[in-house]
Amino acid sequence: MDSAEQYYEAKAALEWQVELGADEAIGDEPLDRYELVAEVPKPKAAKAKPAAAPIPMVEVDAVAVAKAAAAGAADLAGLEATLAAFELCELKRGARNLVFADGNPAARVMIIGEAPGRDEDREGKPFVGRAGMLLDRMLAAIDLGRAGPDPAASVYITNILPWRPPQDRDPSPEEIAMLRPFVTRHIELAAPDLIVLMGNISCLAMLGRKGITRMRGSWEEVLGRPALPMFHPAYLLRSPHAKREAWADLLNLKAKLG
């Protein structure tokens, strides 16, 4: 094949390749295409949304809420319903029943105990079980009882706490402060002539101090009414030697009533 034929054959082959789409000649130097990085446009970063402002934590003043709720009760039934609807005390979640009161609401004597125990929590009444039976015997010794219709011969009984603390532990200062407004309103609505504070917790809540061994037998004042600190019947069951002082306090109460 002469040079002319080679030229035309090569030309025809080139034209055929061009028709197939080959439009770039092979270079003299090898090309490493792994080193070529395609310029891919980067997507525009989305604008970050401003973080939502944190919801402020509002601390609830449980004592203020309790005061407002208690003040709104117009009678004892309303106070009981208000207390039953009060949700800020954790004791309520572990108790079976609300222990509000027992006895004659018109009685001259109002007894304020400490907190419900197991028997009180089960029955929904204050001072039941062994301590309650002892209290009934103590009252009967000075011609008083919780069931009598005569206000002069009956008593009205409640507690500082209406719900049983776990394992019958002492109430915390926060729990006492939270529930004291309901006790104060309870006294205002029942309007007794005399108050008996049974136990250290009752004295701490209503008088601001405790030390029942020193305080018992001496008249104090609660909301303008005479108040007598006395040993709790549960303490007397554990400490029979203190029954002599308890009897003296009962005679003191009877003399005050007379």
Using one digit for the tens of pLDDT, what is the confidence trace for 108-160? 999 999 999 999 999 999 999 999 999 999 999 999 999 889 999 999 999 99
Computed over every residue of the chain, the mean pLDDT equals 89
Is residue 116 within 8 A of residue 196, CB to CB? The reply is no
pLDDT at 34: 60
Task: Note the pTM of the prediction, 2 decimals.
Answer: 0.77
For 10-19, 174-183, 199-208, 233-242, which range has the lowest pLDDT when averaged over its residues?
A: 10-19
Looking at the domain assignment, is residue 245 inside a domain?
Answer: yes
Residue-number span of the structural domain to which 190 is assigned: 68-257
Q: Domain with 237 in it: what CATH number? A: 3.40.470.10
Backbone angles phi, psi at 50, to 5 degrees: -60, 135
| pLDDT exceeds 60 at position 17 | yes
Give the number of other CB atoms < 10 A from CB of residue 124: 16
Between CA 79 and CA 73 the distance in angstroms is 5
Looking at the domain assignment, is residue 57 inside a domain?
Answer: no
Residues 187-211: what's their mean pLDDT?
A: 97
Is residue 190 within 8 A of residue 156, CB to CB? The reply is yes
Between CA 229 and CA 211 the distance in angstroms is 10
Q: In which region does residue 21 sit, left (phi positive, over 0), alpha (psi from -120 to 50) or beta (all else)? A: left
Looking at the domain assignment, is residue 10 inside a domain?
Answer: no
pLDDT at 42: 62
- Nearest-Å Rg of the Cα atoms of the chain is 43
Looking at the domain assignment, is residue 36 inside a domain?
Answer: no
- Any alpha helices (H) in 21-85, and if so which ranges? 62-71, 76-84
Looking at the domain assignment, is residue 80 inside a domain?
Answer: yes
- pLDDT above 90 covers a percentage of the chain that reads 76
pLDDT at 39: 54
Q: Which two tokens stand for residue 17?
A: 């390749």
Between CA 128 and CA 117 the distance in angstroms is 9
Is residue 97 within 8 A of residue 122, CB to CB? The reply is yes
Q: Which residues contact 144 (CB under 8 A, 6 or more apart)?
A: 109, 153, 154, 155
Tally of residues, the chain: 258
Looking at the domain assignment, is residue 54 inside a domain?
Answer: no
Looking at the domain assignment, is residue 179 inside a domain?
Answer: yes
Domain count for the chain, please give it. Answer: 1
Span 176-188, pLDDT tens digits: 999 999 999 999 9
What distances in angstroms separate CA 240 from CA 39, 51, 233, 235, one per listed residue?
Answer: 97, 67, 10, 8
Looking at the domain assignment, is residue 234 inside a domain?
Answer: yes
| pLDDT exceeds 80 at position 2 | no
